[in-house]
């Protein structure tokens, strides 16, 4: 970690838990480094990390057209996925700064930097946040030439950018501007650019015809009276949001905000309003959110422990480190149930509910989700009170030791793509009666934190 505020920027892994009540046997754990899948899942391809960033971990993924953009603590890589069975790297950009959450819009790639750097350049080095001249925030790249991306702009934001969410403009503004909701947290009185109580978002306005004019346009406070700060078992008291998923066409967003789950009205892009809040005694750290396609449900993930714990096990119990499924009715949350992967992991394996996306199945609510060394899980929450896993892909414990696993796993145009800390970029396919009709749905982009409805069923 480059400074104390980054206790949650993870280079190892996090914590989760298992749903099954039957203790796992040693014989249930796959051999070291071995890929195992459910019968309906096929491992299509693995691409090791390209040499320029092979020494740092993979993180998030964004998609546009025939390309996938994979973030990495050392920068990012672009992959040609026009033929998923023969996907290949096109280029890699070395530009260090955790955790490199990525989103793409037109020819612009936005990357989040949540580690204090000596300056905003790609040659920067780690520097304490207590130094006023240190930089962290959002970097913008022009990716019109996939083989030669160009770094065109940086925007510094208070407390950096742990994650970022693109929100298109509305009406006539849609073709003029895109907005970047920057999530950050954990202020410290010794950090000049990250003062407590924080509790806010930074919103960057990006003029699409002149992206180098991008700048912070608003800093709305999410928790004017303070967030959840006293609940026993919280990883950290609420001081901002970890991640936000915007459903722009419906003018709503869901915020996973440390100790709080939040629903926003984002009809005024620069002035999001909190319309509902909830807490959960079993949640330690609200990490991310996914709406159902009809926005009548939302799945929140809990990043129990924040990293490194081997707690996909019986000891942790069924209700901690889980996903929580909520109905949204009359603008308010109603808790329905928890979901955990029903596969215990070895005590050497870190496991946590992490990043996932919907699989566009008509009439059902199904998503794929990363669980670090728990692999990826395909699960059905159509019956919100009784979710169930329907497929999985994972690897056995690392022979090299230490943590790792799949950071993000997303469905895009017929395939599942996964970014693994150490193992690189995986292409996976599920063949199942519950998911097969998703193959009919194709889109030309996917930024998971910017949900768009699936209309061409």
Span 242-280, pLDDT tens digits: 999 999 999 999 999 999 999 999 999 999 999 999 999
Rounded distance, CA 185 to CA 200, Å? 8
Looking at residue 315, its pLDDT comes to 84
* Mean pLDDT value across residues 83-92: 98
Asked whether the predicted pLDDT for residue 1 surpasses 70, the reply is: no
Looking at residue 4, its pLDDT comes to 37
Looking at residue 347, its pLDDT comes to 85
Give the closest residue to 261 by CA, choosing from 278, 241, 236.
278
Looking at residue 115, its pLDDT comes to 96
Looking at residue 180, its pLDDT comes to 98
Span 289-333, pLDDT tens digits: 999 999 999 999 999 978 678 878 888 877 888 999 999 999 999
* Mean pLDDT value across residues 139-162: 98
Q: Quote the mean pLDDT of the chain.
A: 92
Q: From the centroid of its chain, how far is CA 350?
A: 17
Question: Model's pTM, two decimal places?
Answer: 0.93
Low-confidence winner among 134-138, 218-222, 345-349 (lowest mean pLDDT) = 345-349
> 388 in helix, strand or coil?
strand
Looking at residue 457, its pLDDT comes to 55
Looking at residue 179, its pLDDT comes to 98
Q: Let me know: does 342 contact 36? Beta carbons within 8 Å.
A: no
Name the band, by pLDDT with cuts 50, 70 and 90, for residue 227: very high
CATH of domain 4-446: 2.130.10.10
* Mean pLDDT value across residues 158-180: 97
> 173 in helix, strand or coil?
helix
Looking at residue 313, its pLDDT comes to 84
Rounded distance, CA 115 to CA 199, Å? 19
Give the closest residue to 391 by CA, choosing from 438, 349, 457.
438
- Strand order across the 67-72 sheet: 88-94, 75-80, 67-72, 58-64, 445-446
Give the closest residue to 170 by CA, choosing from 275, 267, 295.
267
Rg (CA), the chain: 20
SS3 letters across 220-289? CECCCCCCCCCCCCCCCCCCCCCEEEEEHHHCEEEEEEECEEEEEECCCCCCCEEEEEECCCCCCCEEEE
* Mean pLDDT value across residues 36-41: 98
Owner of token pair 């691409």: 47
Looking at residue 456, its pLDDT comes to 57
Rounded distance, CA 4 to CA 116, Å? 11
Span 389-439, pLDDT tens digits: 999 999 999 999 889 999 999 999 999 999 999 999 999 999 999 999 999
Q: What percent of the chain has pLDDT over 70?
A: 93
Q: Let me know: does 158 contact 5? Beta carbons within 8 Å.
A: no
Rounded distance, CA 160 to CA 183, Å? 8
């Amino acid at each position: 970690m480059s400074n104390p505020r980054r206790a949650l920027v993870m280079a190892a892994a996090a914590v989760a838990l298992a749903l099954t009540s039957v203790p796992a046997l040693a014989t249930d754990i796959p051999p070291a480094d071995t890929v195992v899948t459910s019968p309906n899942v096929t491992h299509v391809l693995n691409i090791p990390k390209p040499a320029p960033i092979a020494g740092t971990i993979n993180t998030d993924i964004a998609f546009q057209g025939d390309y996938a953009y994979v973030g990495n603590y050392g920068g990012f890589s672009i992959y040609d996925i026009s033929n998923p069975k023969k996907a290949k790297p096109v280029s890699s950009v070395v530009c260090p700064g955790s955790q490199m959450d990525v989103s793409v819009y037109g020819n612009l790639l936005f990357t989040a930097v949540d580690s204090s750097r000596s300056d905003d350049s790609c040659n920067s080095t780690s520097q304490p946040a207590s130094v006023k001249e240190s930089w962290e925030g959002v970097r913008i790249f022009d990716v019109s030439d996939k083989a030669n991306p160009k770094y065109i702009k940086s925007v510094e934001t208070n407390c950096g950018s742990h994650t970022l969410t693109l929100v298109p403009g509305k009406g006539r503004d849609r073709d003029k501007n895109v907005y970047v909701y920057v999530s950050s947290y954990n202020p410290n009185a010794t950090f000049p650019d990250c003062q407590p109580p924080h509790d806010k978002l930074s919103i960057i306005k990006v003029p699409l015809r002149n992206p180098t004019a991008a700048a912070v346009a608003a800093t709305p406070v999410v928790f004017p009276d303070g967030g959840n700060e006293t609940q026993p078992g919280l990883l950290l008291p609420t001081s901002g949001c970890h991640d936000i998923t915007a459903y722009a066409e419906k003018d709503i967003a869901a915020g996973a905000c440390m100790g709080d789950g939040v629903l926003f009205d984002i009809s005024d892009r620069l002035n999001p309003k909190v319309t509902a809040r909830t807490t959960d005694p079993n949640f330690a750290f609200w990490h991310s959110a996914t709406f159902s396609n009809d926005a009548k449900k939302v799945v929140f993930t809990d990043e129990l422990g924040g990293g490194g714990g081997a707690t996909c096990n019986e000891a942790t119990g069924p209700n901690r480190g889980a996903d929580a499924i909520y109905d949204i009715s009359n603008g308010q949350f109603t808790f329905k149930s928890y979901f955990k992967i029903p596969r215990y992991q070895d005590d050497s394996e870190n496991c946590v509910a992490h990043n996932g996306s919907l699989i566009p199945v008509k009439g059902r609510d199904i998503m794929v989700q990363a669980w670090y060394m728990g692999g990826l899980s395909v699960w059905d929450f159509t019956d919100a009170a009784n979710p169930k896993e329907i497929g999985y892909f994972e690897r056995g414990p690392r022979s090299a030791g230490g943590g790792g696993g799949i950071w993000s796993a997303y469905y895009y145009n017929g395939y599942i793509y996964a970014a693994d800390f150490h193992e690189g970029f995986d292409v996976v396919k599920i063949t199942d009666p519950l998911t097969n009709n998703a193959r009919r749905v194709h889109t030309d982009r996917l930024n998971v934190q910017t949900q768009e409805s699936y209309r061409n069923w």
